[in-house]
Amino acid sequence: MRSCYIHIPFCEKICSYCDFCKMFYNEKLVDKYLDKLDEEIGSIYKGDELHTLYIGGGTPSSLNLNQLERLFSITDKLNKNSNIEFTIECNFSNTTKEKLELFKKHGVNRISFGLETTSSKQLLFLERDEDQERTREIINEARNIGFNNINVDLMYALPNETITDLKNDLEFINSLNVEHVSCYSLIIEEHTKLSINDTKNIDSELDYDMYLEICKFMKNSGFNHYEISNYSKEGFESKHNLVYWNNEEYYGFGLGASSYLDNKRCTNTRSISNYLKGSYLLEEEILEKDDLVYYEIMLNLRKKDGIDLGKLYSLYNVRIKYEELVKLGLLECNENKLYIPEDKWYISNDIIIRLLEGVRYE
């Protein structure tokens, strides 16, 4: 079984921090895009049974009802396992009862909403449109229609944000009773409006304090911190995202989408004109053994339960010298599973770089 990601790059507004593959919504362009998406999937998809399907963006919920019908006429052709996790990303501002009903009708069973913050000052700064009343209304609507697996994204470390602001956001999200929360620190990427305006990241100590505050709050609220940036209620871990972190294969369709199939990582073009001409692929990386080992270690160590050393050895004949890092308290090992303790996830990139130096091939 495999997984599949489909990218819908359209948004009604462009947020000041956004580095994703996106563009302004344009009705005619969306229609053409969906036709090409159908062709791309038809030319690559082999009919494999899918256990996760994820429609991300961009903002898939920016499409109108006819366009969503067209999108689902494409996903309806995919061979979905009866227990499939089928997620769609939405913004509260353009999600409606009719759209939620359509999602339900076509088998969507998980919704991931971008909220980011509840502070009106920060929403202005991020150039986003959320509001608390509408957020509650849409979540209630989704519940009434039968969605019982909902994620909300939170963004923290925003300029001038205080720990009190962050606690307000966390309290609000917790009051929504959602099953999953993803928390990302604001990173000012090149070529975004924030970078052009020379916005600076907050002080790294405050960023770290905010991270610890989130860990504490979420734990006290009954969430399992199962991946660096992700928290879930028992049994509601994102199956699709676990495919990435477990280094498993997936299809990727649409503008800028990536796939990992048959030891190849492919990335699609971000040029809409090339995509509409049918030139989907931008680059292809054929993975050698050391690349495969690198991804296996780097991705698995993002998770609470870490990497299975027995599996690593049986797949690649590789052992790792990790004992020194365990002595330093940067790693823990239990029943052949090597993992980074929660209080060190904040420096996981440094730990992974040091661990990779200890890789030994046999």
- Other CB atoms within 10 Å distance of the CB of residue 105: 11
d(CA 87, CA 239): 10
CB of 11 to ligand SF4, least distance (A): 3
> Both tokens of residue 139?
């979540």
Residues 305-334 touching ligand SF4, rule: CB under 6 A, are: none
How many residues belong to the site for ligand SF4 (CB under 6 A)?
11
Output 22 or 99, the one with its CB closest to ligand SF4.
22
Q: Which is nearer to ligand SF4, 11 or 37 (CB)?
A: 11
Structure tokens belonging to residue 106: 């076509």
Provide the residue type at 26 as one letter: N
Q: 334 pairs with which residues across the strands? A: 337
Q: Which of 4, 6, 18, 186 binds ligand SF4 (CB under 6 A)?
A: 18
Nearer to ligand SF4, 59 or 300 (CB): 59
Q: How far apart are CA 358 and CA 326, in angstroms?
A: 13
Residue 184 is a binding residue for ligand SF4 (CB under 6 A): no
Q: Which is nearer to ligand SF4, 20 or 208 (CB)?
A: 20
In one letter, which amino acid is 19?
Answer: D
Looking at this protein, which amino acid is placed at residue 27? Answer: E
Which of 74, 90 has the CB closer to ligand SF4? Answer: 90
- Taking the C-alpha atoms of residue 44 and residue 243, their distance in angstroms, rounded to an integer, is 20
* Residue in the structure block whose two tokens are 């449109």: 129
196's tokens: 């052009």
Per-residue contact track with ligand SF4, 41 to 60, x per CB under 6 A? ----------------xxx-
Kindly state the smallest distance separating residue 342's Cβ from ligand SF4, in Å: 27
Q: By C-beta, is 15 or 41 nearer to ligand SF4?
A: 15
C-alpha span between 199 and 100 (Å, rounded): 37
CB of 8 to ligand SF4, least distance (A): 10
Residues at the contact surface with ligand SF4, assessed by CB under 6 A: 11, 14-15, 18, 20, 22, 57-59, 91, 114
